[in-house]
Amino acid sequence: MSNKSQPEQCPEYFERKKSLVITASPSRISRLRRAYLDGNLKVDSKRLAEKLIAFERQLAMPEPPRDD
């Protein structure tokens, strides 16, 4: 089996991926954690899946050329 059959093993796959840092305030994280531990956190799995797919598509988009 060649490396090209599994994109996650190809160097080109990693080169075009970008890292994004998503920040959240400590108070928001604390509220989410508390809701999770209390069993009150409701997750809309369809909405979450759509956001994950959109995020992956954004990562897969090539970067526009830069003017250096």
**How confident is the model over 32-66, as pLDDT tens digits?**
899 999 999 888 999 999 999 998 888 877 766 77
Residue 32 to residue 21: CA distance in whole angstroms = 18
- One-letter amino acid identity for 50? E
Structure tokens at 43: 């997750």
Confidence band for 3, pLDDT divided at 50, 70 and 90: very low
Asked whether the predicted pLDDT for residue 14 surpasses 70, the reply is: no
Confidence band for 2, pLDDT divided at 50, 70 and 90: very low
Coil/strand/helix, residue 20 = coil
Asked whether the predicted pLDDT for residue 1 surpasses 80, the reply is: no
pLDDT number for residue 20:
60
Alpha helices per DSSP H over the chain: 11-16, 26-38, 45-60
Coil/strand/helix, residue 58 = helix
Look up tokens 């090209």; give the residue.
4
